Chains A and B, each alone.
Chain A
Amino acid sequence: MKGVVGLLLALVVMVFSVAGHAAPLRWASDAEANVPFVFHDPADQSRLTGYEYEIAQAIARRLGRPTQFVQNDWDGLIPGLQRGLYDMVIDGIEITPEHEQGVLFSRPYYMTTERITVRRDQQGLDTLAALHGHVVGTLKDTTAERMLQADPSIRIRSYEEETNAYTDLKNGRLDAVLLDGTIALYYGTPDPDLKLVGEPIGQVAYGVAFAQGNTALRDQVNAALDGMMRDGELHRILARWKLWTPAMAALTGDATTPDIAPDAWDHYRAATAPTTGWRARFDRYVSFLPLLLHGAVLTFAVSACAMVLAVGLGLALALMRRYGPRWLGALATLYVEIVRGTPLLIQILFIFYALPGIGLRLSPFVAGVLALGMNYAAYEAENYRAGLQSVARGQIEAAIALNMTHFQALRFVVVPQAVRMVIPVMTNDFISLLKDSSLVSVITLTELSQTYVRLSSTYYDYFGTGLLIGVAYLLLGLPFVRLARMAEARFHTGRQRRGHI
């Protein structure tokens, strides 16, 4: 009996300890336009892939934890880490002294070099020195950018997305692009208009980034990476992506050359091969629809919620300013001035990343709605104020004479008339809110415009995808325009009837 109880107890403990270990490893990357690191499989947009995606999976497996992927904008990756949105970041982050100021790094899991890419017809730009006096593109805050800065005669164009750099190279806006070998291989070689030239330049090491002080997880990940280098798993992953390099052999001490087919590389090339013919193009666009729908739903949800907030808060602010006690009116005025005087982007980032500092932790969706809603409330407040002012003083007096309270007079007489007055302006505001909602992509929300970035950069198809997204925005805005027309027609019945008499 005792033995049975002991066994049960042991089992319970085991179950609990397994459950405890099974807390998901939350890792983040910017999977938009991020080939070959972490990106959406062009053949199946709902699936994540990439050599770093596979490394992350392998690490988690070795740690015995399930993974939870968090999408975040490149600029938000490190702030999100410090905010505790996730445990680690894997996104080709270079181990540099500057970066080490902000985050804790694992040991390098990948070594690469810088490569020069030019248009196929160009000659003689195959060394760093040869770039003297030319226009050269790269990514901002990278080793490549610092290399270019060493020669002041080089006109540097620093991009956020590598796809934009290569597109500008093809369009003739750039003479060359200097970027990491990983990126150059995937963007520069498959494209018939581009070519990689010259010798590899310098050296770059990528590391997994953790929040400062999270040495426990760092050590576990280091051990996992160590194991992957020793038993050849890292070699297998990189070879499949055609990314195994002599530098990696040096790093891992693994000089073997196993016969591993670059199937991941082949898959990517096949999936992104330029489509020929309308039929193929059409099929590709149809395959975008689920993603588009997802982005559209998110854009709509964020905008609609923000609008409700903006209207409610805006009205409250306007009423405070016009009818509230002096101090409350002053407070409302201050709010309006501050909000209108600062950029929306800063407000979004502030609400999402800074408020947790005072214990206010909001989900990306709530933070996005709050930021947009509070911003637009300031503009709505001004509209309503004008609307309230335009309601004749006699209207309130008539209401008070009918023994309504001040509140009832506002609610039934003044506000409805003010709202009627501002509806045309409100419509315009709502449509610009719909467009401004694209800014919430900086706090990990993949809405419609972010979907555009993802799709267009995957297929190098800015034109067709752009038209699709544009249509999606128009379709989203249409109901609001119609709604406003209807409301206007309803409110203005009196005036219209006069026209008939």
Chain B
Amino acid sequence: MARGELVSIIGPSGCGKSTFLRCLNFLEIPDSGTVEIAGVTITRTGGRWTRQEEDAAHRLRAHVGMVFQSFNLFPHRTVLDNVMLAPVQVKRVPADAARAEALALLDKVGLSAMAGRYPDTLSGGQQQRAAIARALAMRPDVMLYDEPTSALDPELAEEVLSVMRTLDDEGMTQLVVTHDMRFARAASDRVVFMDGGEIVEADDPDRLFVDPQDPRTRKFLRSVL
């Protein structure tokens, strides 16, 4: 992926999209293969996950933010605390600076009024935007999204997608697993189609949606469009 790109991953249910995404920040430990993000490279050739590899993964995760389908906000902390927690505890940012940045990020995702609320008092769209702010607070180079809008009603989904478009305009690098074909086609620089645990083809959205090369892609697109 190039810096500043927005890439969507599509494919039938169970084809390994989430698994692939989770391998990129080692929430899932791949058996073999190489992950390279922002200058940190980890190569696996099977065997036990070692202490050194965990340390390398820790360095790599510093560059990667992740947003989940079910938000996974920390329910025992306010929205503001959710956003501040990792910068303060992991990066040792002074609390004042972290708070200022967190408020700025919440403002950016349109949640400045919600800073003092607890997550379960927010709508789904608000929660997902708070989760994006939380990931951004660690100043990642890449954002990973695993079906960020699947749990949301269309109008709430739109709030989230518009935040992602704004980030794209600002030059954030984003990798999005999605079932939302309209978004994939309109917002992506490139679209990846996966099936059976592997990448079948990756192309410019206009080409992939209009003239897919692989029969499996064609079959999938026929079923969803």
Contact = CB atoms under 8 A, between A and B. Distances in A.
B120 A498 contact: yes
A416 B76 contact: yes
Interface in B94-126: 117-121
A6 to B, nearest CB: 72
Interface stretch (B42-50, B67-75, B159-167, B205-213): B67-75
B80 interface: no
B86 A494 contact: no
Contacts of A399: 74, 86
A501 B74 CA distance: 20
Contact of A494 (B64, B65, B121): B121
Given A398-B131, A404-B90, A497-B118, 19 more contacts: A392-B72, A394-B68, A394-B70, A397-B68, A398-B73, A399-B74, A401-B27, A401-B61, A401-B65, A401-B135, A402-B85, A402-B86, A402-B90, A404-B86, A404-B89, A412-B89, A417-B76, A491-B76, A494-B121
A417 B61 contact: no
A400 B62 contact: no
A395 interface: yes
A403 B65 CA distance: 9
A420 interface: yes
Interface in A456-501: 491, 493-495, 497-498, 501
Interface in B204-223: none
Contacts of A412: 74, 85, 89
Given A397-B68, A408-B90, A416-B76, A403 B27 contact: no
B19 to A, nearest CB: 13
Given A494-B75, A494-B76, A402 B120 contact: no
A403 B74 CA distance: 15
A240 to B, nearest CB: 69
A63 interface: no
B178 interface: no
29 contacts: A394-B68, A394-B70, A395-B72, A397-B27, A397-B72, A398-B66, A398-B131, A399-B86, A400-B61, A401-B61, A401-B65, A402-B86, A402-B134, A402-B138, A403-B58, A403-B61, A403-B62, A403-B90, A404-B89, A408-B89, A412-B74, A417-B76, A420-B76, A494-B75, A494-B118, A494-B119, A494-B121, A498-B120, A501-B121
A393 to B, nearest CB: 9
A401 B66 contact: yes
Contacts of A498: 120-121
B86 A497 contact: no
A413 interface: yes
Interface of A is mostly: helix
A389 interface: no
A432 interface: no
Contact of B75 (A400, A402, A408, A417): A417
Interface of A: 392, 394-395, 397-405, 408, 412-413, 416-417, 420, 491, 493-495, 497-498, 501
Interface of B: 25, 27, 58, 61-62, 64-66, 68, 70, 72-76, 85-86, 89-90, 117-121, 131, 134-135, 138
Contacts of A493: 118
B89 A398 contact: no
Contacts of B138: 402-403
Centre residue among A397, A399, A400, A401 by max chain B CB count within 10 A: A401
A278 B76 CA distance: 55
A395 B90 contact: no
B8 to A, nearest CB: 20
Contacts of A402: 85-86, 90, 134-135, 138
A291 to B, nearest CB: 44
A237 B136 CA distance: 87
Nearest to B28: A397
A420 B121 CA distance: 18
A405 B58 CA distance: 8
Closest 5 CB pairs of A and B: A494-B118, A398-B72, A402-B86, A401-B66, A394-B72
Given A403-B61, A403-B90, A408-B89, A495 B120 contact: yes
Contacts of B121: 494, 497-498, 501
A46 to B, nearest CB: 50
Contacts of A408: 89-90
Contacts of A401: 25, 27, 61, 64-66, 135
B68 A398 contact: yes
A494 B116 CA distance: 10
A419 to B, nearest CB: 9
A404 B58 CA distance: 8
Nearest to A408: B89
Contact of A403 (B75, B86, B117): B86
Centre residue among B58, B76, B118 by max chain A CB count within 10 A: B76
Contacts of A394: 68, 70, 72
Contacts of B62: 403
A400 B25 CA distance: 9
Contacts of A398: 66, 68, 72-74, 131
Contacts of B58: 403, 405
B127 to A, nearest CB: 12
Nearest to B119: A494
Contact of A413 (B27, B74, B90, B119): B74
A308 to B, nearest CB: 22
Contacts of A501: 121
A362 B138 CA distance: 50
A401 B64 CA distance: 8
B102 to A, nearest CB: 13
Contacts of B117: 497
Contacts of A413: 74
A408 B58 CA distance: 13
Contacts of A405: 58
A408 B90 CA distance: 8
B124 to A, nearest CB: 14
A215 B131 CA distance: 79
Nearest to A398: B72
B28 to A, nearest CB: 10
A399 B25 CA distance: 12
